Amino acid sequence: MSLDQPRTDRAAATEAPLLDVLSTRWSPRAFDAEAAIDEEKLNNALEAARWSPSAGNSQPWRFVVARRGSEAHATIHASLTGWNKEWAGEAAVLIVALAEVENALGEPQHWARYDLGQAMAHLSVQAHHDGLHAHQMGGFDAAALCEAFALEPRLAPVTVTALGTIGDPAQLPEVLREREGAPRARRTLDDTVIVNA
């Protein structure tokens, strides 16, 4: 298959058997700029996030969900930095993932970012199961998002996720086109588990 064609067959070469939805999940940069989001699939992904585990069932996650063509989508896209700005605007949806780092009483929730990570993992796996692709990003201006959406100080933007239908890598700048087709790799399991008593 050419690098200029959408790839959906990027299964990882895992060291142990995994569920297909995990081993085939990957984070593309090429999104179909014409495909509207399937609202049912978007809702499914958000529902999966809602039902992820959290410390004491505190559910310290909130989301800003913006569909392509909306002012909110343009605002999130404008906050992106580096290469993210080159491709993420084509995604049907941009999602700002917020950690509720303090509860309503002002008490710190030290685990909030961890729990938000679990919620985003659930969201991305459900989305992939339903035929959508998600790409999470750390390159964005958090202060700009806080101001633009009048976020309470206790809500900290942690990631922005592009969500939608995979597109044609030919639309990407050359350096990103190369990354899109590069082999998938992870460190070995032995190098990941530092104590296995």
| DSSP letter for each residue of the chain | --TTS---------SS---HHHHT----S-B-SSPPP-HHHHHHHHHHHHTS--GGG---EEEEEEETTSHHHHHHHHHB-TTHHHHGGGSSEEEEEEEE-B-TTS-B-TTHHHHHHHHHHHHHHHHHHTT-EEEEE--B-HHHHHHHTT--TTEEEEEEEEEE-B--GGGS-HHHHHHHHSPP----HHHH-S---
Q: State the sign of the Cα–Cα–Cα–Cα dihedral 103, 109, 113, 118.
A: negative
Condensed to tens digits (0 to 9), the pLDDT of residues 139-168 reads 999 999 999 999 999 999 999 999 999 999
The mean pLDDT of 36-63, rounded to a whole number, is 98
Give mean pLDDT, residues 53-69.
97
Question: What pLDDT does residue 43 have?
Answer: 98
Domains of the chain: 31-168 (3.40.109.10)
Stated pTM of the model: 0.91
Q: Is residue 29 within 8 Å of residue 179, measured between CB atoms?
A: yes
pLDDT score at 8:
53
* Angle 143-50-133 from CA coordinates, rounded to 5°: 75
Which pair of structure tokens corresponds to residue 161? 């996720």
What does the pLDDT read at residue 11?
A: 83
CA 1, 186, 142, 158 dihedral sign is positive
Contact 169, 181 (CB under 8 A): yes
Q: What is the pLDDT of residues 115-137, one digit of tens each?
A: 999 999 999 999 999 999 999 99
For residues 23 and 101, which has the higher predicted lDDT (pLDDT)? 101
